[in-house]
Structure 1
Amino acid sequence: MASIKQWTTPLKGVESLKLTEAPKPAPGKGEVLVEIHAVSLNYRDIEVPCSDMCGVITQVGDGVSAWKVGDRVLSTFLPDHQTGQVTEKELSRGIGLPLDGVLAEYRVFPEHALVKAPSYMSDEQAATLPIAVVTAWMSINGMRPMGQNGGHGEYILLQGTGGVAIAGLQIGKASGAKGALLTDL
């Protein structure tokens, strides 16, 4: 049986990170196997690395209709969350915490846990989108219905110069908001 390399940590922080080998996973019903090309780091990755990745589907399980082999995809860190307030059950299914992260050569995902990667971005660029951009989007737009996004005439105050703040600045600018960015040098 083929094996893969993956980084694991038993929820004891980065100092316990170790490279291990595991059997290459196979997708079950409603799942896909993704070859991981790039990952990004976020603050939450201190415990179980990582939740954001860009990769290519190499195998599809029975019943999968949304994806095909060769599709380029991004992971979502809360794959079971679709709308509204996040529930405890959805949090218990989070990729990278508490479930194994994506710091591996291959990983199986439920069909619904992926989104299409933007074709105009490299794998490395696209891998930075899930947590930073979704966090910024939700911070600015909250629970507004789609199509009723914030923007023109609104003011946005962002703190820091990390991924979330920069994504928020870009979202605010694109939507017509006025913004201020605070940072400590």
Structure 2
Amino acid sequence: MKAWILHDFGIKNLKLECVEKPSPKNGELLIKVGAASFNFRDKAIIDGFYEPHRIPKNLIPVSDAAGVVVAVGDGGSKFKIGDRVTTHLYSNWIDGSPKHNELDYCFGMPLPGGLAEYMIIHESAAVAVPDYLTDEEASTLPVAALTAWYALSDFGNIKSNDTVLVQGTGGVAMFAVQFASALGAKVIVTSSNDQNIRKAIKFGASMGINYRLNPAWEEIALELTEGKGVDLTIELAGGDGINQTAMATKVGGKIAQIGFLDGQVSQLHLMPIILRQLTIRGFAVAPRLAYEEMNKFLMVNKIHPVIDKIYSFDQVEDAYNHLTKGAFGKVVIKIS
């Protein structure tokens, strides 16, 4: 089969090669991959600043993929040939709290990912595709959609008339906008691009703040919430910006720390956290059962993922560059 192999850090070291097609063992499924989608995690792995000590040689990267079951290992399976499934990033995390070693079982690093014509998924890590979605759409669900869903539902417990602030208009952000809107919340989106704010409003955001034109954007967020602050902030920037996030979040509110676009290190001001009695929780996707609950929500609401562009299998470098420059929603690679 053809697969993209990462030989060393840097996009120039990601090569399309012919390698042996894997065979499913007991409990495993062989998937003919229809599409894969890029996350910032994948870019960080390729660039070498996401747990670089864990990255094996000759890795097939990219965690999120959707396709069809073409072979089943010995012992049978709850899935059959012809079923459409996606990966689940933390392949061993089924329910409850994560275990200490979940990182050892992640697709796209250290396990082989979906940037290949075929891949192996254990049946316990496979999730059925909502039948109204294409492979390209389904490939966006495992990380971006599930992270947004878990932050809103499990942590935020978002309900009608709550206010959610979403940073940016990338993959996780646009799922958060759509999910929060469908849950009945008012959504404030931040972006440096007025056009992206207008597009986000079409997908369910109530209002937007251009943080480039308004560097003290947290003050605008307070004005938009009558001085109270938002119930939940979907924090995707990282870095020192979390201090502005704290000021934009209401007393007793919550911050879902998901991203690190502006850096993995922050100089946190403790007094606003203490005096506003905020809860900050880190998010690294969610268990498989939460994924299945999200898919039920998708089916009821018929939400379609926001895809900025779909690239062909030989245009992976172009897709990577698109993600690097910034995408509105998701960047997808069509494989078969």
Normalised by the length of structure 1, the TM-score is 0.90
Match of 1:173 among 172, 178, 181: 181
Task: Kindly indicate whether residue 168 of structure 2 is the aligned counterpart of residue 160 of structure 1.
Answer: yes
**Cα deviation code 1:149-171 (max 9, x no counterpart):** 42213211100010111100111
Please give the secondary structure, in 1, of the residue aligned with 2:2: strand
Match of 2:15 among 18, 30, 33: 18
Report the Cα offset of residue 143 of structure 1.
4.6
8 Å CA contact retained: 2:112, 2:119: no
Aligned residues: 178
- Report the Cα distance in structure 2 between the residues aligned to 1:102 and 1:67, rounded to whole angstroms: 19
8 Å CA contact retained: 1:169, 1:179: yes
Task: Kindly indicate whether residue 127 of structure 2 is the aligned counterpart of residue 119 of structure 1.
Answer: no
Report the Cα offset of residue 11 of structure 1.
5.2
Structure 1 gaps of 5+ residues are none
**Cα deviation code 1:28-55 (max 9, x no counterpart):** 0000100001111111112252111110
Residue correspondence of structure 1 range 2-151 to structure 2 within 5 A:
4-10=1-7, 12-46=9-43, 47=45, 49-143=61-155, 149-151=157-159
Report the Cα offset of residue 94 of structure 1.
0.4
* Of 127-136 and 6-15, the range deviating more from structure 2: 6-15
Report the Cα offset of residue 89 of structure 1.
1.1
- Report the Cα distance in structure 1 between the residues aligned to 2:100 and 2:117, rounded to whole angstroms: 29
Please give the secondary structure, in 2, of the residue aligned with 1:153: coil
- Report the Cα distance in structure 1 between the residues aligned to 2:168 and 2:113, rounded to whole angstroms: 26
The structure carrying a bigger helix percent of its residues is 2
8 Å CA contact retained: 1:84, 1:143: no
**What is the RMSD of the two structures over their aligned residues, measured on CA atoms?**
1.6
- Report the Cα distance in structure 1 between the residues aligned to 2:146 and 2:138, rounded to whole angstroms: 13
- Report the Cα distance in structure 1 between the residues aligned to 2:12 and 2:20, rounded to whole angstroms: 24
* One-letter amino acid matched to 1:132: A
* One-letter amino acid matched to 1:164: V
Say if 1:11 and 1:93 are closer, same or farther in 2 by CA, change over 3 A. Answer: farther
Say if 1:106 and 1:117 are closer, same or farther in 2 by CA, change over 3 A. Answer: same
- Report the Cα distance in structure 1 between the residues aligned to 2:6 and 2:127, rounded to whole angstroms: 26
8 Å CA contact retained: 1:10, 1:16: yes
Please give the secondary structure, in 2, of the residue aligned with 1:142: helix
* One-letter amino acid matched to 2:5: T
Say if 1:80 and 1:11 are closer, same or farther in 2 by CA, change over 3 A. Answer: farther
**Cα deviation code 1:126-165 (max 9, x no counterpart):** 1111111011112222358xxxx42213211100010111
Please give the secondary structure, in 2, of the residue aligned with 1:68: coil
Please give the secondary structure, in 1, of the residue aligned with 2:101: helix
* Of 103-112 and 81-90, the range deviating more from structure 2: 81-90
Consecutive aligned runs of 4 or more in structure 1 exceeding 6 Å deviation = none
Report the Cα offset of residue 15 of structure 1.
2.3
8 Å CA contact retained: 1:64, 1:111: no
Say if 1:88 and 1:18 are closer, same or farther in 2 by CA, change over 3 A. Answer: farther
Say if 1:83 and 1:143 are closer, same or farther in 2 by CA, change over 3 A. Answer: farther
* One-letter amino acid matched to 1:177: A
Say if 1:131 and 1:124 are closer, same or farther in 2 by CA, change over 3 A. Answer: same
Please give the secondary structure, in 2, of the residue aligned with 1:100: coil
